Structure 1
Amino acid sequence: MKIEDSVASKALLEIDNNIDALVKQIELLSYVNPTNIEEEKARFFASKYLTDPIFKYPNINFDKFKLHRELFTQPLERIEDEAIRNLYEDIIYAYSGLIQCIENIGNGKQFYFNSLHCFGTPTENDVENAKFILHFEDENRTLEKFQPKYSAKASEVFFKDFSKKYDFSYNIDYSDKISAIAMVLNNIKTLVLNTNHIYSENEIAILTNHEIGVHMVTTMNGLLHPLKIFSHGFPNNEETQEGLAVFSEYMSNNLTVTRLKELAYRVIAVDSLAKGYPFSRTFRLLHNQYDLDRETAFYITLRAHRGGGFTKDYLYLTGLKKVYDYYHSGKDMSLLLTGKVSLEYVNEIESLIQKELAVPSKHITDAYAENSNTNKTVDFILRSLK
C-alpha cells in the first residue's frame, strides 16, 4: 500500500511534519558551546587551575513554552499502529527533555539534572571499562602522522577529497567557539572546523571517517524518508550515532589506543559530575592524577562541564561497544545508517521500511565495506569491555 492511499498514514505524516517544524530550531550543540572558551581558558590557567571558568552562552531564539505546548498537543491517538504511536510518544518526551536542557544552559544543577534525564550518567561498569582502557600504553606519539600540521582552512581539502566517494554535498564552516575540533550541524548540513586547532594526519583520518563517513551520511540518508523523524532524530540517538562514528574509525584502521583513552577520560570526567566535582577539580583529576597535558585536560573538562554539567560524552564508549557487538553478531549495519536513529528501534525501522514509510539507506559508510583494522590491542580492548 502506498502511503498516500492510507488515511492513517496521512495522519502520521501530518503529525510527523508538525513535529519536524517544531524541532528544526532545536540544535542543542548550537547553544551548549560557550562563546568565551579561549578567554576563560587563559584566566583559568593564570589562576593555577583554582578559579572555575565563567562561561557565556548564545542567546536562545525560540519560545520555549510554546514549543513544549505544541509538542504535547499533537493528536497521537490518530496514529493507529501501536508501535509507531509509542515511538512518537517517546519522540515527544525526548524533545521536550532537550528543550528543557536548552532553556537551562548555564543554570548549574538544573541543567545537569535535565542532562541526566536526556543522556543518563555512567554506571559503575562504564567507569570500570574506562579505567581498564587507561591501563594500556599510548601509541608512539612521535610518529609523523600524529604531528600537528594543518590549520582548519588547510584541512578543508582533505574533507572535500574524502567526500568525493559519497553522492552528496554539504557546507564547510569555521568557528573558534566550539569545544570539539570538528562537528556536523545536522539541521544545516554543515561541517564546522575549529580554527583554534592544528590537525594531524591521524586526526584528519579520524574526522573524515567519523564526521563525514557517519554523521554526514546519516544526515543525508535521514532527508530521504517520507517521515522527518529520521532527520531530526530518534530518542537516544546520540549513543548509537557516536558509536557508529567511532566504529568507522575502527573499521578504517584509524582507531588508536590513544583515541580510546580520550573516550575513557570523557567517561571519567562525566562521572566526576555525579560526584559533585566543580570544573577545577575535574581538571585537576585529569591533569594531576591521570597526567593528561593541560590543554587536553581542559577541553575534556570543558566538554563535560559546559552548560552546567553535560553528561552526553560518556555515550561514545558505550555506543562504540554496542555497535561493535552488533556488527560482530552479523546484523544489518545499513539499518543504523538510515538517519539519526537508535539501536533500540531497529525493529521499528524495519517495519517502517516495509510499510513504505521509510526507505533503505542510500549512502553507506565507506569504512563499513570491510574491516581494515590491524590494531590487535584495540581489538582486544573492544572485545574485553563489559
Structure 2
Amino acid sequence: MKVEINAETTALLEIDNNIDALVKQIELLSYVNPVNIEEEKERFFSSKYLKAPVFKYPDINFDKFKLHRKLFTQPIERIEDPLIKDLYEDIIYAYSGLIQCIETIGDGKKFYYNCLHCFGTPTEKDVENAKFILHFEDEDKQAAKFQPKYSAEESEVFFKRFSENFAFNYEIKHSDKISAIAMVLNNIKTLVLNTNHTFSDNEIAVLTNHEIGVHMVTTMNGLLHPLKIFSHGFPNNEETQEGLAVFAEYMSNNLTVNRLKELAYRVIAVDSLAKGYTFSRTFRMLHNQYDLDREAAFYITVRAHRGGGFTKDYLYLTGLKKVYDYYHEDKDLSLLLTGKVTLEYADEIKALISKGLAVPSKHITSAYSENKNTNKKVDFILRSLK
C-alpha cells in the first residue's frame, strides 16, 4: 500500500526520521559489555571467589544531555492518530531511559535503578517459574551434541550455510570482549562470535536459529518500512525479541531442558540483584547452591551484574512463555517479525501496515514454518509455566 502524503503523515515521517538519527548511537549492548572479562575472571578465581571483578567499559561517544533534549523537543502533538501519537510518546520515554542506562554504566545503584525502569525485575511468579524448571534433570551433558568442537572461526561456516535460507547479507566479526557467546548488533547488521568460546553442535543449532533466524531477520525486516521505528526498536521490545528467538530454538527442535535451565539461572541471578547480593555472593549461590560449574556460574553472574546490575536477562523466559502462548492461540507470528517490535503493540503494528506506513514481513524465520519439536518434557515445562 502506498503511503498517503498529507500533513499528518509528513509530520510523522519527519519525527520518525529525527528520532532515528538520534537513537542510532544508542546500542546498549555496545556499552554494557565489559572489555576486560577474561582478565577479571582469572583474578576472581585466584582470589577464591572473594574479590569482585572490577570491570572496564567502552567510552561513550555521544552527548547524553543533548540527546535527551532533542528527544523531548519532538513535536508529537502534530500526530493526529491517538494510537500512533501514544506509541511515539512511549518511544521517546523508552529511549530516554536507555540513554540514562548508558550514562550510568559502572555507577552501581544508579545503573541498576535505571535498568529497573527500562526492563523491570523478576516477579515472585517469574522466580517460581525458574525454580520449577530447575527441578528437572539435565539431559546427558556428555552426549556428543553438547561437546565443544568448533572455534569461533570454524563456526562461521555454519552461520553462513544457515543464512543461505535468507535473501540478505550481514557481517561476521569476532570478539573476546563480550559476555554472550554470540550476539547480533542491530545498528551495524553484524553477528559477533565470542573467540573465547568453543561451540558444540547443539550451540550451533541453537544460535543459528536464535541469532540469524530471529535477531538478524527482524533487523533486516525492520529496514524495509517507511518508519524507522521498526529498525531502531519499539519500547520494551527486548522481551518479545528474546522470546521469539528462544521460540525458534523450540520450533526447530533444539530447545533442551539444559537450555531452559540456563534461562532459569539467569532469572535467579537477576533476582539476586533485587535481594542486594554482591557479585561474589551471586556467583557462590550459582556455583555452590545450584552446582553450576564455575565457568557457567561466572558468565551468568557477569551478565546480571555488568554495568552495576543489568536486569534484562530475566526477560528471555517471560518472553518465551508469552510467544509460546501467542503461537498456541493461533496468532500471526509474522507480525512480530516485522522489526524490533513488541507483542503488546500488535494493534499499532496492524494500524501502521493498514496506513501504508509499514509493510508485512519479507523475511520469515524458517523454524516457524513447521513445529518440529519432539521434546515432550520441554513442552510440558512451557505449558506449565505460570
Superposition pairs for residues 126-137 of structure 1, below 5 Å?
126-137=126-137
Separation in 1, partners of 2:55, 2:295? 17
Superposition pairs for residues 1-386 of structure 1, below 5 Å?
2-386=2-386
User: What letter matches 1:278 in structure 2?
Assistant: T
User: Any idea what SS the aligned residue of 2:296 has?
Assistant: helix
Kept in 2: contact 1:35–1:58 (CA 8 A): yes
Kept in 2: contact 1:3–1:10 (CA 8 A): no
Deviation at 1:385, TM superposition (A): 0.1
Output one character per residue of 1:2-32: Cα deviation in whole Å (capped at 9) or x when no partner: 4252221011000000000000000000000
Output one character per residue of 1:65-84: Cα deviation in whole Å (capped at 9) or x when no partner: 00000000000011111100
TM-score, reference length from structure 1: 0.99
Q: Over aligned residues, Cα RMSD in angstroms?
A: 0.6
User: Any idea what SS the aligned residue of 1:56 has?
Assistant: coil
Separation in 1, partners of 2:130, 2:190? 31
User: What letter matches 2:328 in structure 1?
Assistant: H
User: Any idea what SS the aligned residue of 1:330 has?
Assistant: coil
User: What letter matches 2:37 in structure 1?
Assistant: I
User: Any idea what SS the aligned residue of 1:3 has?
Assistant: coil
Which piece of structure 1 moves more, 300-309 or 139-148? 139-148
User: What letter matches 2:62 in structure 1?
Assistant: F
User: Any idea what SS the aligned residue of 2:281 has?
Assistant: helix
Separation in 2, partners of 1:286, 1:248? 27
Deviation at 1:141, TM superposition (A): 1.1
Deviation at 1:178, TM superposition (A): 0.1
User: What letter matches 1:114 in structure 2?
Assistant: N
User: What letter matches 1:136 in structure 2?
Assistant: F
User: Any idea what SS the aligned residue of 2:122 has?
Assistant: coil
Output one character per residue of 1:76-104: Cα deviation in whole Å (capped at 9) or x when no partner: 01111110000000000000000000000
Kept in 1: contact 2:4–2:356 (CA 8 A): no
Separation in 1, partners of 2:142, 2:305? 31
Separation in 2, partners of 1:237, 1:274? 22
User: Any idea what SS the aligned residue of 1:172 has?
Assistant: strand
Deviation at 1:143, TM superposition (A): 1.1
User: What letter matches 1:64 in structure 2?
Assistant: K
User: What letter matches 1:59 in structure 2?
Assistant: D
Kept in 2: contact 1:16–1:228 (CA 8 A): yes
Shift in CA distance, 22/281, structure 1 to aligned 2, threshold 3 Å: same
Separation in 2, partners of 1:264, 1:143? 22
Output one character per residue of 1:337-368: Cα deviation in whole Å (capped at 9) or x when no partner: 00000000000000100000000000000000
User: What letter matches 1:203 in structure 2?
Assistant: E
User: What letter matches 2:214 in structure 1?
Assistant: V
The runs of at least 4 consecutive aligned structure 1 residues that moved more than 2 Å come to 1-5
User: What letter matches 2:78 in structure 1?
Assistant: R
Separation in 1, partners of 2:219, 2:44? 37
User: What letter matches 2:208 in structure 1?
Assistant: T
User: What letter matches 1:212 in structure 2?
Assistant: I
Which piece of structure 1 moves more, 299-308 or 6-15? 6-15
User: Any idea what SS the aligned residue of 2:97 has?
Assistant: helix
Separation in 1, partners of 2:79, 2:20? 16
User: What letter matches 1:151 in structure 2?
Assistant: S
User: Any idea what SS the aligned residue of 2:25 has?
Assistant: coil
Output one character per residue of 1:46-77: Cα deviation in whole Å (capped at 9) or x when no partner: 00001111000000000000000000000001
TM-score, reference length from structure 2: 0.99
Kept in 1: contact 2:127–2:268 (CA 8 A): yes
Which piece of structure 1 moves more, 24-33 or 1-10? 1-10
Output one character per residue of 1:230-273: Cα deviation in whole Å (capped at 9) or x when no partner: 00000010000000000000000000000000000000000000
- Structure 2 unaligned residues grouped into runs of 5+: none
Separation in 1, partners of 2:112, 2:316? 18
User: Any idea what SS the aligned residue of 2:13 has?
Assistant: helix
Output one character per residue of 1:205-243: Cα deviation in whole Å (capped at 9) or x when no partner: 000000000000000000000000000000010000000
